[in-house]
Structure formats: structure tokens, C-alpha cells
Structure 1
Amino acid sequence: MSVDAALRTAREVFGLRFLVVGCVPTIAACAFLLLLAFAGAPGPLRFADAWQAIAGLNLGQLVLGALGLVVLAVLVQPLQLPMVRLLEGYWPRWAALPRRYGTWRQTGRRRRLARAAELPEAADHAAVQRAGQAGTVLRRLFPVGGAPLLPTALGNALAAAESRAGREYGLDGVVAWPRLYLVLDETTRSVVDDRRNALDGMVRLSVTAVVAGVAAGALLAGSGWWLLLALAPLVIARIAYRGAVHEAVAYGEAVQTAFDLNRFELLRRLRLPMPADQDAEREANEVLCTLWRQAPGDRSLPLTYEHPEPK
């Protein structure tokens, strides 16, 4: 590997995404727990002692501690996708009861939004606006096409994004997105990446705050009323989760925009002819997505290619 390639890989691994998604939540949680430990937990807390202990750390101890936090963040990085799946509601079989309860809540929420989106017979301008707003929220937070609901708001918001992306063009967003992402223009990719980083950052903060809250509860079990401090990370976890739902909606909108602006570039890179109208586009894209869904050895659908003349 060349020096330039190594530097580029290092920037990708330890860049803004690693800082926002990996380092900040990990450092915040560890700093909170270390502060409690320095203050005397388990037992009565004396924060003056904690500040004295922190001020007494030498440069070597600080560097070693910072290196340990970075290593911890690197080790946790592969767990990012399982964290997202956990908050989406993809739970094991033994969690059937909370899954049913969550799905029941989400079904009720979708039903209420659907009723609010219905126009009454004698609708004035304000009623039309309210119905339109409810319909917009319904499309952003819940999947279309009769897809089954997940037990969490985050899971349904991401499922809504998957169901909408490329739908009007005959594209299946799940199978088309990995290919479309590679041909995005620089501006669109930057927007998509920023919103994905924000989503993953909120997910990591939420999960990390829950872990910190549980650890703080165990650490403060013998500290009397100081045990209430364990609620602070749990409140942060709840706020971060709501932020993750909003970021999921924003990410879905960015992905939909990416389909709007770059779907023809995907066809060009695949050396496929440009459709003449929307009907032809939908028909061609449905054939293409069917091809992508097939097993590797079962690709019998005919495609006609167009190769540009060499310059």
C-alpha cells in the first residue's frame, strides 16, 4: 500500500465519522463513570476529591487514558450496525412480549395518523392543511405498501425510507441503493454521509448512555440519594433516541433525493439505454431489480447494453 493510500485509509477510519459516532459518546460515558469513581462511589460522593484526583494526573496518565478511550472506541465500532438493528426492533425470539407491545403501540400511532390524514366532507383550508401535514408525517414515519410494522419508531422510520426510495421509478431501494451509492455525485454523497453520520451518532449516544446509566446505577447502589444521578444518562438516552428518529427521517429524504438526481447515472455506468418516458423507466428498472434479487447463478433476464464510442 502506498503512503497516499495509507493516509487516505487513516482519514476514512479516524475521520469525522469516527469522531462523531465513535469517540464522543464513548468519552462522555467513560468520563461520567470515572468522575463518579474518583468522587468516592460506591459510597458518599465528594466531588472536591474528584477534582483533586483529576488535577493530580500527570501527562503520561492522561495520554495513556486518552489512548485507552480511542482503543475502546475502535473496538466498539463494529457493533454500530447491531446497535442500529437493536433500536430498530429486530429483537431475539425471547423478546416476543415487548416486541408485540411495541408493535401494538406503533399500530395505534399509525392508525391515529391515518385518521388525521383523512379529509372530512366539508373541509376548510385549515382542515386541508392539517390533513396534509398528518399525511406527510405518516409517509415519513411508516412504510408504505402494506409492509409489517416494527416495534420501534426508529425501525418504522427507516423502513419508511426504504419503502419510498426509488419507488416511483420502479426501483427497489434495498437492492438498488448499494449500487446507486457508488455513483453519487460528490455533493449528494456528502449530504447523505452527513445525515447517516448524524443518525449513527444519535444511535451510539443512546445505547452508550443506557449502558452508562446501568453502570452508574450499580456503582451508586450504596451511595444513598446519589443513586438518582444514574437517571441522567437514561434521560440523555431517551433524548438521543428521539433525535435518532428525526435523523432517520432526514436520512430517508436524502436517500430519496439521491435517487431523484442520480438514477440515470447508474444506468449510464451499467451501460444500459436511457428510457424515453416514465413508463419505460419503471419497466426497465423493475427488470433490473428482479435481476439483482436473483441468485448469482440464475441471471437469465435479457439486457441490451449501450457502449459509448471511444473519444
Structure 2
Amino acid sequence: MGAFAGRLGTRFLVVTVVPNALLLGYISFLLAAGAPAHSPSLARALAALDHLTANRIAAVILGLLIVSIASHPLQVPLIQLLEGYWWGLPFGLKLAYRATARYRNEWNLVQSELEAAKDPAPWDWHARNAGRSAQFRWDWLPEVEGDLLPTALGNTLRRGETRAGERYQLDLTVALPRLTPLMAPGVLAELSDLRNQLDAAARLCIAAGIATAVSVGLLIWHGPWLFLALATYLVTWACYRSAVAAARRFCISLTAAVDLCHLQLFDALSLERPADLVEERERNERLSRLFRGQLANDEMAAFRYVLPPKTDNPTAEGGTTTPPGQQ
């Protein structure tokens, strides 16, 4: 419980409080420096800082905590916004279709490059490097053209999360909440850390994007100071690229975690383990439909329960056990 609370506190601090504090501090600096009524002045901002009292500082910290607590549950919608799930926004469907056109072209181009790079001559280093580049780009694009999303982050996460479960015919949208409690503490901690890195980079990207819009609004009449808008835009771009890189690392670790514990799902559900991968894929397809509540009654007989693990001495701790499905 203490470790969970510690991870939750770290996540809240890194993912929500720090980006909100940076955004609040930046906007406060611009206002204290005199924008938008006057050309910003560092001396004016420092003078305003000198007039801060303990009560005002406490009020700012309290306001920051209130805003952070209120906005923390918005992390998933914010990630989805960066992924390109814009269908619910005004004109979102048209915007998403136009933005996806770039990745449709990329999808077709990469396929052509992979076809052209097949079996290059050993001395043709240019063709070999082009093939490696095309393969890397293909590895982070959905395999089906209809699954393409409008953003690089969306395509990266869709391909990575699909790849982690598709080899076992598992739909991770419904299976992952059941697999997570079965993962080893070290694996789960690594996944949590990588997810925090992804979410923190995404949150910083959004905060920097808001800072860019605010900078333009407050500094548009003070020409030289618009370099701050350019600076925050570059921070936005860098944070977005960091989020994409973090998404790749997260998906690689997620794939490894599923590889290590996919059979434990049968043990946890007291179901007989499959004999081979072909049988497992068939059962996992049914399991995924069961988790979604879409399994027909006549298909449920395919799942056979096994007896609970046996112990040499039921009253003693540390008795030897027989894994489910292997009695």
C-alpha cells in the first residue's frame, strides 16, 4: 500500500503538478512584467516578486494544488487529444481525415521502399540503409491502412499496443486490466515509470502549447518579445517528440510484459492452460469476447475450469503447490 501511494504521489507530482506550476509561473511572469499593456520588463517582474507575501505565496500554492487535483483525471483525454481522437470536437472528423492523409502517404511510401529494398547487394550500403529506415518507420505504423491516426503519437501507441497482444489474439483494451495484477513487481514498476515518462512529456507538451498561444496573445504588440512564443513553440515540439520516443519504449516493455505473463491469465481464471500457441490464440479470441460481454452461451463450454492448486499441508504456510492446469 505504501509503495502504491508512493507511485501515485510521484505520478501526481511529475505528470500534473510540475507542468501546471511551470505554466502558471510563465504566465505570471508575463503579467508581472507588464504584458500586454506595456512592453515586458524584467525589472518590473522582479519588483513584483519583491512584493510577494507569505499569504500570497500560500494562496498561489493552494490554487495550484486545487487546479492540479481537478485536472489530474483529464490525463487520458489529453493523451487521446495528442493521439488524434478528434471525432467529438467541432469539425474534428474533417480535421482528422485531412491530418491522416499525411500518414496514408507515408504508409504507401514505406511499403514501396520496403519492396524496393528487398535483397540488396552486399556492397549497396545505400539500399541497405534505406531498407533499415523504411523498416523502422513501418514498425511504428499500423499494419492496416484503415487504422491510421492523424498523429505520430497515435500511430505509435496503436501499433505498439496492438502488436503486444495480437500474437496471442488478445485484445489488450479488455485484457490488460486483468493481466496487470499478474505481473511481477519489477515489471509493473518499469511499466509505471515508462508510462509516467510518456504522460509527463505529453502534459508538458500541452502546457508549452498553451504557453505559446498565451505568448502570442500577450506579446503580439511587443515585437522583439515574440521570441518567447518561438521558444515555447520549440519546447512544445521537443516535448512532443519526447512523448513519441517514450511511447515507443513503453510499447516495447509492454510487449515483453505480455510475453512473460500471458499464460498466467489462464491460471488466475482457474482455466486449463492451452496445449500450444494455436490453441491459445483460439481461446484468447473467445476470452476477449467474454471480457467484452459478447460471447454466446453455446461457446462458453469451450472453457474448462481446473481444480485449485493442491498443497501438501493445507494448514501450513509455504506448502508446495501444483500450478493450475498441470495437476
Give TM-score, length-normalised by structure 2.
Answer: 0.84
Aligned to 1:124: 121
Task: Say whether residues 1:287 and 2:292 are aligned partners.
Answer: no
Deviation of 1:221 after TM superposition, in Å, equals 3.5
213-222 or 203-212, larger mean C-alpha shift: 213-222
Judging changes above 3 Å, is the alpha-carbon distance between structure 1 residues 173 and 124 closer, same or farther for their aligned structure 2 residues?
A: farther
SS in 2 for 1:30: helix
SS of the equivalent of 1:118 reads helix
| Aligned residue number for residue 319 of structure 2 | none
User: What is the aligned-residue identity percentage?
Assistant: 33
- 1:87–1:120 Cα change, 3 Å: closer
Contact 2:174–2:288 (8 Å) recurs in 1: yes
Candidates 87, 100, 112, aligned match of 1:115: 112
Distance 2:121 2:241 in 1: 33
- Structure 2 counterpart of 1:47: 42
Shift of the 68–277 alpha-carbon distance from structure 1 to 2, 3 Å rule, reads same
Residues 259 and 122 of structure 1: CA distance in aligned 2, closer, same or farther (over 3 Å):
closer
How far is 1:130 from its partner? 4.2
- Residues 84-99 of structure 1: pairs in structure 2 closer than 5 A: 84-91=79-86, 92=89, 94-99=91-96
Asked if the contact 1:110/1:138 (under 8 Å) is kept, the reply is yes
Within 5 Å, give how 1:1-311 maps onto structure 2.
11=6, 13=8, 15-42=9-36, 43-91=38-86, 92=89, 94-118=91-115, 120=117, 123-125=120-122, 126=125, 127-128=127-128, 130-139=130-139, 141-295=140-294, 300-302=299-301, 303-306=303-306, 307-310=308-311, 311=314
Looking at structure 1, the residues matched to 138 and 110 of structure 2 have their Cα atoms a distance apart, in angstroms, of 6
The unaligned stretches of length 5 or more in structure 2 are: 315-327
Moved more, 221-230 or 290-299: 290-299
Segments of 5+ residues of structure 1 without an aligned counterpart are none
> Quick one: distance in 1 between partners of 2:299 and 2:83?
36
Per-residue displacement from partner, 1:217-239 (whole Å, max 9, x unpaired)?
A: 22223434323322322221121
Change (3 A) 1:147 1:191: farther
2:223 & 2:149 partners in 1: Cα distance? 39
| Counterparts of 1:230 and 1:120, CA distance in 2 | 42
Larger RCO (CA under 8 A, 6+ residues apart): 1
Which amino acid in the other structure matches residue 34 of structure 2? G
Q: Measured at CA, do residues 271 and 85 of structure 1 come closer, stay the same or move farther in structure 2, by a change above 3 Å? A: same
Letter in 1 for 2:288: C
Secondary structure of the 2:279 match is helix
Query: How has the CA–CA distance of structure 1 residues 309 and 10 changed in structure 2, closer, same or farther, with 3 Å as cutoff?
Result: closer
Shift of the 290–296 alpha-carbon distance from structure 1 to 2, 3 Å rule, reads closer
Aligned length: 304
Letter in 1 for 2:310: E
The answer to whether the Cα contact below 8 Å between 2:107 and 2:145 also exists between their aligned partners in 1 is no
CA distance 1:51–1:297, shift in 2 (3 Å)? farther
How far 1:28 moved relative to its partner? Answer: 0.8
Distance between the aligned counterparts of 2:295 and 2:119, measured in 1?
A: 56
User: Deviation digits for residues 117-153 of structure 1, max 9, x if unmatched?
Assistant: 23546512444464245223312x2122454211111
Find the aligned partners of 2:297 and 2:215 in 1 and give their Cα distance: 54
Q: Give 3-state SS (helix, strand or coil) of 1:165's partner.
A: helix
Deviations 1:139-195 (A, max 9, x none): 2x2122454211111111111012211211222222211211121111111111111
Alignment-mate amino acid for residue 46 of structure 1? S
- Are the aligned partners of 2:201 and 2:242 in contact in 1 as well (CA < 8 Å)? yes
Which segment drifts farther, 245-254 or 230-239? 230-239
State which drifts further: 46-55 or 223-232. Answer: 223-232
> Which digits, 9 at most, give the CA deviation of each residue in 1:229-275, with x for residues without a partner?
22322221121111111111111111111110111222211111222
Amino acid at match of 2:256: T
Change beyond 3 A, Cα 1:178–1:26? same
Moved more, 250-259 or 232-241: 232-241
Alpha carbons of structure 1 residues 10 and 286: separation in structure 2 relative to 1, 3 Å: closer
Question: Structure 1, residues 76-130: CA drift from partner, whole Å, max 9, x if none?
Answer: 1121111111111111351333222211101112222222323546512444464
Cα deviation, 1:26-50, whole Å, max 9, x if unaligned, reads 1111111111111111111110121
The answer (yes or no) to whether the contact 1:162–1:252 under 8 Å persists in 2 is: yes
Computing the radius of gyration over CA atoms, which structure comes out larger, 1 or 2?
2
Q: Give yes or no for contact 1:144–1:163 (8 Å, CA) kept in 2.
A: no
Q: Provide the aligned C-alpha RMSD in A.
A: 2.4
